[in-house]
């Protein structure tokens, strides 16, 4: 980030306008990704896509990257940890799950007897996850 952008960001924080800066950056991201996200949603109506602000806050406001990155990360985690799963059922915990970008794909990679748990400090995201996700336990 350039020195100028760092200066502007720090200025917003110092004068107590961090929430204004956050809303501005969210709107820029929404405009930047609007057409791409709309086209992706039309082609993939069945996919789990959290609310835009949740995506912006936890990852990127890009639906395709949310889905494909989540799948890739879930597969990578299972590859790294596979040697520790010698028997079934297994239990995993996604600590700091946010909108469950990775966790929503884990059940496809584990035995049906496995237990998947997820937790996060953000109560709004946990409430959303509890309402929308039934493939694992939200704490």
**pLDDT tens across 43-81, in order?**
999 988 899 999 998 888 999 999 999 999 999 998 888
Which range marks the domain in which residue 23 is found? 3-138
| Domains held by the chain: number | 1
User: CA 99 to CA 124: how far, in whole Å?
Assistant: 10
What pLDDT tens digit does each residue of the chain (139 aa) get?
578 778 877 888 888 888 888 899 899 999 999 999 999 999 999 988 899 999 998 888 999 999 999 999 999 998 888 777 776 667 888 899 999 999 989 888 887 788 889 999 999 999 998 888 877 777 7
Q: Which residues touch 100 (CB under 8 Å, ≥6 apart)?
A: 94, 118, 129, 133
- 107 close to 133: Cβ distance less than 8 angstroms: no
Sheet holding 115-119, edge to edge: 91-95, 115-119, 137-138
Helix (H) or strand (E) holding 114: none
Structure tokens at 41: 């949603």
The gap from C-alpha 78 to its chain's centroid, in whole angstroms, comes to 18
Per-residue confidence (pLDDT) for residue 1, from 0 to 100: 59
């Amino acid at each position: 980030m350039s020195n100028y952008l760092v200066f502007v960001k720090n200025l917003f924080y110092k004068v107590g306008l961090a929430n204004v800066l956050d809303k501005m950056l969210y709107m820029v991201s929404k405009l930047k990704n609007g057409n791409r996200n709309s086209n992706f949603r039309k082609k993939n109506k069945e996919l789990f896509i959290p609310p835009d602000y949740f995506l912006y806050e936890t990852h990127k406001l890009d639906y395709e990257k949310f889905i494909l990155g989540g799948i890739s990360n879930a597969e990578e985690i299972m590859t790294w940890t596979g040697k520790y799963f010698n028997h079934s059922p297994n239990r995993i915990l996604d600590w700091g799950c946010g909108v469950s970008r990775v966790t929503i794909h884990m059940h496809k990679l584990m035995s049906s007897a496995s237990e998947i748990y997820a937790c996060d400090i953000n109560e709004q995201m946990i409430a959303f996850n509890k309402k929308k996700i039934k493939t694992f336990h939200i704490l």
